[in-house]
Amino acid sequence: MEKLSFRLSAPKRAGGTRTQAIVGVVASGNLEVLLERASPADTCTIDIATAANGFGAVWDAVVRDFVARRSAGGLRISINDGGARPDTVALRLAQGVRKIEEPER
C-alpha cells in the first residue's frame, strides 16, 4: 500500500449544498472516492491510499488535471484505490463532483 497526499489551489468552487458524496467501490481496477466539504473554498485536498505502488507521478497528473478543470474548491477528497487505471480515476472524480452538487431531496 502507498499513501499520497495533495493540497491544490482550486480555481472553481464546488457547487451544491450536500455535505458529502461517495462513489465507486474498492475492487480490482476500481476505486472509491469520498468527497466532503471540509477545505477552504479555494483549496482541494486529496488523500489517496492505493494498492498499486510507484504510480505517484500518474496520480499527480490526474488529480492536477481534475482540480484545474472541475469545480473542486472546498472539497476534501479521500480515495481508496484497488489499482484503477487513470481514466477510471478521472471518471470517478468527475462522478463524485457531480454527485455532491446534486440537489438534496
Q: Cα–Cα distances in Å, from 68 out to 27, 62, 94, 103? A: 27, 10, 12, 23
Which of 12/94 has CB closer to other proteins?
94
Q: Quick one: 30 or 43, whose CB is closer to other proteins?
A: 30
CB of 63 to other proteins, least distance (A): 17
Distance CA(16)–CA(73), nearest Å, equals: 12
Binding flag, residue 51, other proteins (CB under 8 A): yes
Q: Does 54 bind other proteins (CB under 8 A)?
A: no
Report the distance separating Cα 43 and Cα 4, nearest Å: 17
The footprint of other proteins (CB under 8 A) covers: 1, 20, 22, 25-27, 30, 32, 34, 36, 49-51, 78, 80-82, 105
